[in-house]
Amino acid sequence: MASHLPQSTPASTDIVDNSMLTVLICRIIPGHPHVCDCVTVREGGVAEPSSIAQRVNPPLPTHVRRVVSPRVVDRLAAGRFNPGPGDVVLVCEEAAMRAEELAVRNNLKETPPALAFERLLQDACDITGETVFLLLSKEADAADGSATQPSSLGQAQPRSLLTGQSTRLGAAFLQVGSLERIASIRKNYQTLISLDEKIGSRIKRFKSERDFLMLGYCLILTDQKAVGPGYAAAVRFEDEAELHPSLLSDILGKIADDVWAEVLERIPELEAFSSKVISEGSRGFTIGRTPFNMASLAKNQIVEFHLNLRDAHWTVLVWLHGGEGPIQEGWFGLPAFGLQFLPTTLTVAVFNAASITHGTAPCVIPEGSSACRFGSSHFLRMPDLENLICLRIGADSNGLTLQDLRDAAANANGKAGRRAISTLRKELIASGRAEFRQSGGGQQAWRDAAVEWRDWNL
Q: Which residues contact 292 (CB under 8 A, 6 or more apart)?
A: 216, 256, 260, 286, 316, 378, 379, 380
Which residues of the chain have a pLDDT value below 70?
A: 1-25, 142-160, 196-247, 409-410, 412, 440-446, 458
Distances (CA, A) of 368 to 49, 209, 234: 19, 21, 33
In this prediction, residue 217 carries a pLDDT of 65
For 293-303, the pLDDT digits (tens) are 888 888 999 99
Provide the edge-to-edge strand list for the sheet that holds 38-41.
47-50, 38-41, 325-329, 363-364
In this prediction, residue 222 carries a pLDDT of 40
In this prediction, residue 417 carries a pLDDT of 76
In this prediction, residue 225 carries a pLDDT of 43
In this prediction, residue 181 carries a pLDDT of 96
Nearest to 386 by CA among 443, 432, 309, 425: 443
146: alpha, beta or left? (left if phi > 0; alpha if psi -120 to 50): beta
For 67-76, the pLDDT digits (tens) are 999 999 999 9
In this prediction, residue 148 carries a pLDDT of 42
